[in-house]
Each structure stands twice: as C-alpha cells, then as structure tokens.
Amino acid sequence: MHILIVEDEKPLSDEIKKYLEPEGFSCDEAYTGRIASDKLWANSYDVVLLDLGLPDYDGIDLLKEMITAKKDSAVIILSARSSLDDKIKGLDLGADDYLPKPFSLLELKSRILAVTRRKHGIKGNLIKINELDIDLDKRLVFCKEHQLPLTRKEYDILVFLVLNKNRVVTRLQISEHIWGDIIEENYNSNYIDVHIKNLRKKIADQSEADYLETIRGVGFRFNTVDF
C-alpha cells in the first residue's frame, strides 16, 4: 500500500515512515505543502496522511486540490488543531478520517487499514474471495485453508489486485502501489511479471482455478469466479 505522509515536523514524519514500512506500507514524505502538491499530481496514493498546519500551505487547500484533481486516495487528517471547525471542514470536504495529535502509531495503522477497507467496501479484517481467505491484519493468505507462503511483495500485489477485482490493473499502477517513487526509472523491468508468476504458482499448488489473468501489454486482472 502506497502512502503519502504530509507533515512538516520531520521527526514525526520520519517516525511514522519508520513504523509503517516494516508493516508493509511504502511511504513517501512531503515536508511542505508545495512538495505534497507535486507528489499528489505525479503519483497515486492509497492513503494520504495530511497535517493541516503546514508552513507554506493550509492543509485544507491541499485537500481541495485533491478533490478537484479527482484523486481517489483516502485521506486521514492529522492535526494538532483541535478545533471542531477544522475537523468538520476536513470531513465535509471528503477526508475519510481525523486523528488528533498526539496519536499512537498503532492507532494510526488501524485507522489506515480501516479507511482502506471502507473505501473498498470490505467489512472486518478478512476478505473472502474465490477460494482465498485473506487476513489483512496478519497479512496472511489461505487457499482452501492452506496458508500460502507468500513473500511481502507477492502479498502486496495480490491484495492490490483483489481490491481492484475484475478491473485491469496496469504494471505502472502496481509499481506505484508497491514501490512508490523508487521504481519510476525502471518500472518497465520484469519484476512484476516475476512476482505474478510466483504468485500464480503458489495459488496453483492449492487450486485448479486460475483467476489471475494477464492482459497482454497492459497488466493483470483478478477475476472473481463462482465455485
């Protein structure tokens, strides 16, 4: 999952990144509103953590920009401003959640998972799809009750495809989602195909069905199948 942290308090931003990355999130940081705005235009994020008090920007204006640009990232406002006004304004504008500072990183993580689930219409921490059971909290995938030995990247790619089920997801979208900015120079590489191949093989070890479809020259689609 690709996250943008918009926060001018560098130590806090770094602390969030340091906590989230080992938990399987890829994080970009923007210490100013200007940088955040550029990153929002250039990339697509699953979740944006938005501090309202930025040196050069009002966070609310950034939120308005995202809405104008029809960015479909979920937004969690992080703010020391405890004014009810800001909270209401943010939520009215379409932010998905509001977390007052100081907050615990564990709480932040659970809010991130919650807004992501809500955005995709998932209730609870479990996704049941085709023959798969995915535990989003524990990051485990079972196929017909056998746990699949997925690597972190394979898990991330699978969940991303599942959340966008029955839709074609391009290689670029997968790169952005999994690797964030880093991949931009070399997203044409066959990394993704290798991961998909391994993923497909691990599912095939447990199931006859093949629901990971390759759309030649474009990307991949996870198809829902009736059993």
Which residues contact Ca ion (rule: CB under 5 A)?
Answer: 8, 51, 53
Closest CB to Ca ion: residue number: 53
Tell me the two tokens of residue 7. Answer: 């926060």
Q: Helices (DSSP H) in 79-219: which residue ranges?
A: 84-92, 105-119, 152-163, 171-179, 191-204
Smallest gap from residue 79 Cβ to Ca ion (A): 8
Dmax (CA) of the chain: 56
CB of 108 to Ca ion, least distance (A): 15
In sign, the C-alpha dihedral spanning 180, 174, 225, 206 is negative
Give the whole-angstrom CA distance, residue 226 versus residue 212. 14
Q: Least distance (Å) from Ca ion to the CB of residue 12?
A: 8
Cβ neighbours of 163 (radius 10 Å): 23
Closest distance between Ca ion and the C-beta of residue 52, in Å?
A: 7
Which of 6, 40 has the CB closer to Ca ion?
6
Give the separation between CA 20 and CA 83, rounded to whole angstroms.
27
Nearer to Ca ion, 103 or 224 (CB): 103
Q: How far is the CB of 146 from Ca ion (least distance, A)?
A: 47
Place of tokens 């991303």: 160
Nearer to Ca ion, 60 or 129 (CB): 60
Specify the residue, 77 or 122, whose C-beta has the smaller distance to Ca ion: 77
What is the C-alpha separation between 222 and 163, in angstroms, rounded?
A: 9
**27 vs 192 by CB, closer to Ca ion:** 27
